[in-house]
Amino acid sequence: MTNRCFLNVSHSLTGRRWVGPGLEAERQAEAMAQITRLPMAVCQTLVARGVEPDQAQAFLNPALRDLLPDPLSLKDMGRAAARFLQAVETRQRIAIFADYDVDGGSSAALLILWLRALGAQATLYIPDRIDEGYGPNVPAMQTLGAAHELIVCVDCGTLSHDPIAAAGCDVVVLDHHLGAETLPPALAVVNPNRQDEPGDLAHLCAAGVVFLMLVEANRQLRTKGSQTPDLMALLDLVALATVADVAPLVGVNRAFVRQGLKVMARRERVGLRALADVSRMDQAPTPYALGFVLGPRVNAGGRIGQADLGARLLACDNPAEAAAMAARLDELNTERREITEAVRAEAMAQAEARGLDGPLVWAAGEGWHPGVVGIVAARLKEATHRPAVVIGLDGGIGKGSARSVTGVDLGAAVQRVAAEGLLLKGGGHKMAAGLTVAENQMEAAMSRLADLLARQGAGADGPRDLAIDSLLMPSAVTPALVEQIEAAGPFGAQAPAPRFAFADVALSARRMGETHLRLSVSDSAGGRFDAVAFGAFDGPLGPALENPGHNRFHLAGRLELNHWGGRTKVQLRLEDAAIA
């Protein structure tokens, strides 16, 4: 990418330099437009994702059958599926030990629903975040092992050597968190992030791994001439987990989410339908809805309420029970937001006092609820464009969550600090991790973590640069164009929605609530569209744009479709602006 300033914006209203695509990328997009006859904006989006002209149509229409990997390409997969089927066929007692987040809950629900389709059932166990912490623990595994012949650990277990050894029965692990040099003594550990895996499927979340195991289980059933459950109908849960766990939307994950959104739009999943209704979702689900509307509510039970509530809702087939659980999760989510905001304000003040220009931002506080530290870490990461750690202290022990930025493997760094003895325990994956630290070791541990992250380039690229994918004229912005751009999605982790710039436009604005701004954008050629700037008055955009006077502006943001009152209109989600 070239260092030239896009539209000559070297210092925007938010203090950033705008940087456009390089000349080579522009040439590639022009060549693709000539070959494919696709709009230039779509071609620029595809080129940014490394798509060649002859791959364009396949990329815009991802087929799961073409992208689905062979489940047996993952180590231990055949053994895991065979043992799972053996337990079903011989009516052995199965327990599912799941993590308390959306990925864990969705993974557990996938297994429960698949088993239910075959007339089988399982015991669901999700540990309490505060009392038991993350992953299998010895007392729980001993109790489950005494009453079951098979325990399946989902979204956890890869680092749980002692608890799995204590189970006293067969254990299968279906996980995606970074593995250590040695694996626990389980019958099978299926994990694309095992150290002896090549990493081709490292982007899968746990629900993706569970889905592949069910694909293999169905294959083994078919070889025996047996009927198999409908896996395509379960893709709504895989999509929810993939987006909510911030898994990269690349490879098969794109197809999981694209197909899963179509399944979810049919509103056949009783629990998700109840959750959508209580969330007041009045249009077809989108990746945004999965990540910011449904996901937080499923998570709310594990964060501050009943740990298994989200998983039970996702697997529920009783409308009345689902409505009650969804209402409770909605209440817990409201409570969670209030707790989060209080911790966020304290954490940001502390991080600012410590300094925001290093490779890591972190904060710790006595009594901070462990159920919200991950959310607050994500907020700090978004505000500073750096990996962030937030720790809640209780009795000299800190339990924290960490969130990373693209290109920085946070899980590996946390795991190394744990191996060096500065953390009591720690692990995760590239974009997120959890840790436990003694309070008297906290400063040293964070200093060492910052050093490791700096070696990966964290903090080297400050928040000043804003990447622009393309320049558009307001008259070119139509619902049809946005639909074509969205075909290059779904957009999310490691596949961000393209950011467009609009040059020399006039604005009229009105405030929405305390912090948001709605704008009408027009140019001299008669083009016009709406824009919205959420949180504009939390920074410099709101005061500068609310009363623009005769000033004209360059704008930058992401396009989306706004469905309201039976009409579909284009809307720009404004991220930055500069005086033209």
What was the pLDDT predicted at 1? 39
Fill in the DSSP letter of residue 320: H
C-alpha 433: how far from chain center: 13
Mean pLDDT of 498-514: 93
pLDDT band at 114 (very low <50, low <70, confident <90, very high): very high
pLDDT at 303 exceeding the cut of 90: no
Collapsed DSSP state (helix, strand, coil) of residue 387: coil
* 14-63 per-position pLDDT tens digit: 888 999 998 999 999 999 999 999 999 999 999 999 999 999 999 999 99
Give the integer Cα–Cα distance in Å for 149 and 500.
Answer: 56
Which of 255 and 4 is assigned the larger pLDDT? Answer: 255
**CB proximity list for 464: less than 8 A, separation 6 or greater:** 15, 16, 17
Region 79-103 average pLDDT? 97
**For residue 564, pLDDT beyond 80:** no
Tokens encoding 294: 């449904």
- The share of the chain scoring above pLDDT 70, in percent, equals 99
Helices (H) and strands (E) in the chain, counts: 21, 18
Alpha helices in 132-186 (DSSP H): 138-147, 161-165
**CATH number assigned to the domain with residue range 67-329, chosen from the 4 options 3.30.420.10, 2.130.10.10, 3.40.47.10, 3.90.1640.30:** 3.90.1640.30
Distance CA(414)–CA(129), nearest Å, equals: 20
Average pLDDT over residues 219-234: 96
What's the pLDDT tens digit per position in 304-355? 878 999 999 999 999 999 999 999 999 999 999 999 999 999 999 999 999 9
CATH number of 355-455: 3.10.310.30
How much is the average pLDDT of 386-391? Answer: 96
pLDDT value, residue 250: 92
Cα 98–Cα 103–Cα 109 angle in degrees, nearest 5: 60
The CATH class for the domain spanning 6-17+468-579 reads mainly beta
Question: Across residues 388-401, what is the average pLDDT?
Answer: 96
Q: Is 343 helix (H, G, I), strand (E, B) or coil?
A: helix
pLDDT the model gives residue 465: 84
Which residue would you say has higher pLDDT here, 8 or 2? Answer: 8
Write down the pTM of the prediction: 0.88
- How many CA atoms does the CB half-sphere of 390 hold within 13 Å? 28
Q: What is the pLDDT of residue 493?
A: 85
The pLDDT, as a whole number, for residue 549 is: 85
Nearest to 470 by CA among 31, 7, 44, 4: 44
pLDDT band at residue 429 under the 50/70/90 scheme: confident
Of 33-37, 95-99, 477-481, 566-570, the least confident: 566-570
pLDDT of residue 269: 97
What mean pLDDT do residues 120-135 have?
Answer: 92
Nearest CA among 136, 192, 191 for reference residue 169: 136
The pLDDT value given to residue 461: 59
Share of residues in the chain with pLDDT > 90 (%):
85
Angle of CA points 385, 391, 397, to nearest 5°: 155
Using 50, 70 and 90 to split pLDDT, how confident is the model at 462? low
Residue 557 CB neighbour total at 10 angstroms? 20
Judged by average pLDDT, the poorest of 325-334, 429-438, 456-465, 549-558 is 456-465
User: Are 67-329 and 355-455 equal in CATH topology?
Assistant: no
Dihedral in degrees, nearest 10, Cα atoms 443, 447, 450, 454: 170
Q: What is the pLDDT of residues 142-194, one digit of tens each?
A: 999 999 999 999 999 999 999 999 999 999 999 999 999 999 999 999 999 99
Mean pLDDT value across the chain? 94
Position 3 scores a pLDDT of 54
Q: What is the pLDDT of residue 2?
A: 43
- Determine contact, residues 489/497, Cβ cutoff 8 Å: yes
* All structural domains of the chain with their residue ranges: 6-17+468-579, 67-329, 355-455
